[in-house]
Amino acid sequence: MKLRSKLSLGIGILFTLILIQGIQSIRYVRHLSVSSKEILSDNYNSVHYVSEMLRSLDRFSQDSASRRTLIEALTLQQQNITEINERQVTSALEEKVGRLNDSISGEEVQQIRNDLYRIMELNMGSILAKSRGMESSADEAVRWISVIAILCVLLAALFLLYFPSIVLRPIDKLKQGIVQIANHNYDQRLDFGNNRELRGVAESFNNMAQKLSQYRRSSLDRLMTEKMRIEAIVNSLHEPIIGLDSERNILFMNDEAFSILNLKRGNVIGRNAAEIAINNDLLRRLIRELYSNRESDGSHEPLKIYADNKESYFQMDNIPLYTNAVGEQERNFIGNLIILNNVTKYKELDSAKTNFISTVSHEMKTPISSILMSLQLLGDARLGSLNDEQKQLVGSIKESSDRLLDITGELLNLTQVESGKLQLHPKIVKPIELIDYAVKATHVLAERFHCYVEVEYPEKISKLFVDNEKIAWVVTNLLSNAIHHSPENARIIVGAKQHDNWVDIYVQDFGRGIDPRYHKSIFDRYFRVPGTKTQGSGLGLAISKEFVDAHNGRIFVESEVGKGSRFTISLRV
């Protein structure tokens, strides 16, 4: 049966039930109306005629028109006889009325009254009987209407319960087929039997599924070809590469990765990396980097690996992979790509550079010290006085020598950090001691630039367990930078404050400030903010960061152009 026929049948059944209910209701209401009309038109008229005759009988001796009214009412009564015995009583009444004359006796009037009362009693009784019959008919009508209504409701309920499922069964079947196609089950087919309306839909659906299946097979072939091509490209790379899915299962590894991890292909692909890492120290280190939830940027120390009977260094690049599902804006995490870049050559060059800088710095300290000693002797009055021009030249040489000595010291500190020979000698120290040291060390410099250094220090603050020399050097370097980058007669604030288990030592100036895009770069080695006129090596902040990091602390800057800068060292109590 067609879907349209099913819908027409269902609507027709409901319409028929409503029609039956309506016809039966009208029929019983009509029956009650006719019965009520009969009561009102027949018996009520007889009662009315009797009432008229009684009133005319009361005025019979006083009004000549009453006789005519009595005769007319009697005539009408004779035409409206409906009850048993009513005709005999009416005939008797007619004889008695016919004998009436002007000299009517009271006994005759009473006999006529009795007949009238008898007629009224017969009609009133009939009215009562018919009223009871109407009540019975009404009750019967209610019963039948209720029965029919209940039957209609039951039929409608059964219809509403089963008919939608019958009509919607093909649609549900089509919906399930679409869900199967959405789940990539392209072998799904539909068959609606003899349903001509949905046969075309089924044929279109089956054709679509067949084409999708063919497309999937062809796409799968292309994907396999691309997969082999990518595997060939990955294996041709000299850097070890590892691909993981979102569950940290190993998807692929190139030959270099298998070699450096000392793993076999058949025992790795498809397994969870954490499971394999239990017995593989290098993979465990790589997985630990993944679970730290950070994207590698090459800033952390390279991994030292013994491969091919030699010590090698690899820089790990962890690249999280994301994709956008079709029709969605939100990116979904699908895995990680780990690339190990062999930086052994650069590490060796860096080590050679560090050794060279260390050697040169040590060699330079001796002549610089000799120059400073000679300048000190030249300034001694016992060897002779200098004129103003000579004093100016000696001062300029001393300033340059001091700057060279500072640079040499910074280079030595840098080589100490780079070579991993940085040694800390922590001890308990008050933050104010570090600040006082920095203020005294830069006192002459502040006077030279006409800067006022203001110290802010709370009454209660915890002591620190740090290498006081290195942290004091950091504070001194920050205060020195603030003086150099402040205008004359400027105010500089150096202070400390505590929050929870951290103590912040800060240096704030009100100079030109630093552009926000350089806030991270200023802690890189040899970096100097473009446009800076103050001379320097670009190593002070880099060394300061290394010293603070060695204490597991933090150093950062807050600055806006034109409003000055605030450098903060945050150390754990």
Residue with tokens 């007949």: 115
β-bridge partners, 456: 495
Residue with tokens 């002549």: 367
- What integer is the mean pLDDT of 502-512? 94
How far apart are alpha carbons 114 and 117 in whole angstroms? 5
Band the pLDDT of 452: cuts 50, 70, 90.
very high
CA distances from 357 to 411, 416, 530 (A): 7, 10, 25
pLDDT of residue 55: 78
β-bridge partners, 427: 466
pLDDT of residue 246: 85
> In the predicted model, is pLDDT for residue 335 greater than 70?
yes
Report DSSP letters for 227-246, one per residue: HHHHHHHHHH-SS-EEEEET
How far apart are alpha carbons 11 and 17 in whole angstroms? 10
> In the predicted model, is pLDDT for residue 565 greater than 90?
yes
SS3 for 512? coil
Q: What is the pLDDT of residues 80-121, one digit of tens each?
A: 777 777 788 778 777 777 776 655 677 777 877 787 788 788
Q: Which residue has the higher pLDDT, 319 or 378?
A: 319
Lowest mean pLDDT among 267-281, 284-298, 330-344, 533-547: 284-298
pLDDT of residue 10: 65
Report DSSP letters for 166-223, one per residue: HHHHHHHHHHHHHHHHHTT-TT-----TT-HHHHHHHHHHHHHHHHHHHHHHHHHHHH
Band the pLDDT of 418: cuts 50, 70, 90.
low
> In the predicted model, is pLDDT for residue 74 greater than 60?
yes
- What integer is the mean pLDDT of 221-247? 82
- What integer is the mean pLDDT of 167-191? 77
Strand 491-499 relative to strand 452-456, pairing:
parallel
Please state, rounded to an integer, the average pLDDT across all residues of the chain: 79
Residues in the chain: 573
Percent of the chain with pLDDT over 70: 80
pLDDT of residue 198: 67
The three-state (H, E, C) secondary structure of 303-333, written as one string:
EEEEECCEEEEEEEEEEEEEEECCCCCCEEE
pLDDT of residue 106: 73
How far apart are alpha carbons 93 and 49 in whole angstroms? 13
pLDDT of residue 451: 93
CA distances from 537 to 365, 441, 524, 526 (A): 17, 19, 12, 6
Q: What is the CA radius of gyration of the chain?
A: 58
Which strands, in side-by-side order, build the sheet including 310-324?
Answer: 250-253, 241-245, 331-342, 310-324, 303-307
HSE (side-chain half, CA atoms, 13 Å) at 567: 28
β-bridge partners, 317: 339
pLDDT of residue 361: 61
CA distances from 495 to 197, 321, 347, 436 (A): 86, 45, 40, 10
**Nearest-CA neighbor of 299 among 571, 525, 514?**
525
pLDDT of residue 117: 81
Phi, psi of 554 (to 5 degrees): -135, 145
Looking at this protein, which amino acid is placed at residue 500?
A: D
Band the pLDDT of 496: cuts 50, 70, 90.
very high
> In the predicted model, is pLDDT for residue 295 greater than 60?
no
pLDDT of residue 383: 66
- Cβ atoms of residues 14 and 156 within 8 Å: yes
Enter the tokens of residue 99: 């004998």
Contacts of 447 (CB under 8 A, 6+ apart): none
- What integer is the mean pLDDT of 353-368? 66
pLDDT of residue 536: 65
Band the pLDDT of 64: cuts 50, 70, 90.
low
Band the pLDDT of 35: cuts 50, 70, 90.
low
pLDDT of residue 569: 95
Range 327-336 contact pairs with CB under 8 angstroms and sequence separation of 24 or more: 333/246, 334/245, 334/246, 335/243, 335/244, 335/245, 335/246, 335/251, 336/243, 336/244, 336/248, 336/290
Looking at this protein, which amino acid is placed at residue 520?
A: K
Q: What is the pLDDT of residues 258-277, one digit of tens each?
A: 888 888 877 788 888 888 88
Phi, psi of 524 (to 5 degrees): -85, 155
**Nearest-CA neighbor of 82 among 71, 93, 90?**
90
- Cβ atoms of residues 12 and 39 within 8 Å: no
- What integer is the mean pLDDT of 132-144? 75
> In the predicted model, is pLDDT for residue 381 greater than 90?
no
> In the predicted model, is pLDDT for residue 479 greater than 90?
yes
CB atoms closer than 10 angstroms to residue 411: 20
Q: What is the pLDDT of residues 296-320, one digit of tens each?
A: 445 567 788 876 677 888 888 888 8
> In the predicted model, is pLDDT for residue 332 greater than 70?
yes
Q: Which residue has the higher pLDDT, 168 or 420?
A: 168
pLDDT of residue 520: 87
How far apart are alpha carbons 176 and 473 in whole angstroms? 74
How far apart are alpha carbons 522 and 301 in whole angstroms? 20
> In the predicted model, is pLDDT for residue 249 greater than 70?
yes
> In the predicted model, is pLDDT for residue 509 greater than 90?
yes
Strand 502-509 relative to strand 491-499, pairing:
antiparallel
